[in-house]
């Protein structure tokens, strides 16, 4: 498929979904050209992998073996470290964010909040913490990176480096959903 066409990503995703329709969410996850095969045992993983490779062969779908990882206990998928422990931030990406100097322009704030926001689900009260900086993005607001902005910037960087591991819920236990909202932030916790 040619690169650069506006509809190429959607078309490619639909093709991949059609090829692996019977496996998606049961034995594999697919996002564009990233495939993750999973199972509860080594034998199950091998069986699922064989089925996936057979479907690739049947549909003439070529894989890049140099970018492939087989039978790993953890890996980076879509910018997150996935393991049996749960989902974590990618330390390499967080290290880059942690070394950034505080923004000096509106474009710099947008860039920082975009990068940090990628991991917002790992940071409790992300919107509340980032509020002093997001206020500077509002129309007709003069740019002055005041003390509260510097504190928010430092807090977000610190919380990213201390981010917890997100784990899948135990579906056999009851859930409690807690919600909170204000004029500028919304929060939800599933406990």
How far is residue 48's CA from residue 9's CA, in Å, rounded to a whole number?
25
pLDDT tens-place string over residues 20-73? 999 998 999 888 888 889 888 899 999 999 999 999 999 999 888 888 888 888
87-129 pLDDT tens trace: 999 999 999 999 999 899 999 999 999 999 999 999 988 999 9
Predicted structure pTM score: 0.74
Instruction: Spell out the alpha helix ranges (H) of 118-146.
Output: 126-135
Distance CA 63, CA 52 (A): 11
What average pLDDT score do residues 142-158 get?
93
Query: What are the Cα distances from residue 33, in Å, to 25, 88, 123, 149?
Result: 16, 21, 28, 39
Please report the pLDDT score of residue 1 as a whole number. 61
Residue 188's pLDDT band (boundaries 50, 70, 90)? Answer: confident
pLDDT of residue 2: 63
């Amino acid at each position: 498929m040619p690169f650069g066409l506006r509809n190429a990503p959607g078309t490619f995703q639909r093709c991949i979904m059609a090829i692996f329709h019977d496996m998606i969410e049961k034995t594999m996850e697919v996002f564009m050209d990233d495939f993750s095969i999973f199972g509860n045992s080594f034998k199950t993983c091998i069986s699922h992998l064989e089925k996936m490779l057979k479907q690739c062969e049947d549909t003439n779908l070529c894989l890049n073996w140099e970018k492939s990882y087989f039978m790993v206990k953890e890996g980076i998928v879509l910018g997150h470290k996935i393991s049996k422990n749960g989902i974590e931030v990618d330390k390499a990406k967080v290290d880059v964010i942690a070394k950034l100097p505080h923004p000096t322009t509106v474009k710099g704030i947008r860039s920082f909040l975009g990068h940090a926001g990628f991991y917002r689900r790992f940071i409790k009260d992300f919107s509340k913490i980032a509020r002093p900086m997001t206020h500077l993005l509002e129309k007709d607001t003069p740019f002055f990176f005041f003390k509260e902005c510097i504190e928010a910037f430092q807090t977000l960087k610190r919380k990213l480096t201390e981010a917890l591991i997100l784990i899948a819920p135990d579906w056999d236990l009851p859930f409690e959903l807690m919600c909170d909202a204000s004029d500028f932030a919304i929060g939800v916790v599933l406990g």
